[in-house]
Amino acid sequence: MVQHIHLDDRGVAWIDDTNTKVIEIVEEVLAYGWSAEEVHFQHPHLSLAQIYAALAYYYDHQQQFDEQIAISLRAFDRRRADSLDSPMRQRLAKDRAAA
């Protein structure tokens, strides 16, 4: 196990002594291209050692994390597509057209 990282009962990797999941840091690095220093700036409650440990854990388990991220993105895309024709959107579009 990487220092600063622990797995919960479900196998989710967390940064020790925080309520921050490793995948949350990874997603920010991938989405925004942030360096460890920028992650630290955005999350000052995390030490650089914790951030680097999270990134090291990610690279040691990259395939599993990338699969999990892809699954989450597909689920988001499905939920978004399902909501495009929701009754609330239809009502808002109707109200906008009437204005």
- Looking at residue 35, its pLDDT comes to 97
Extract the residue ranges of the chain whose pLDDT is less than 50.
none
What is the three-class DSSP state of 21? strand
- Looking at residue 92, its pLDDT comes to 84
- Looking at residue 1, its pLDDT comes to 61
Predicted TM-score (pTM) of this structure: 0.77
- Looking at residue 84, its pLDDT comes to 78
CA 34, 40, 41, 42: dihedral to nearest 10 degrees? 70
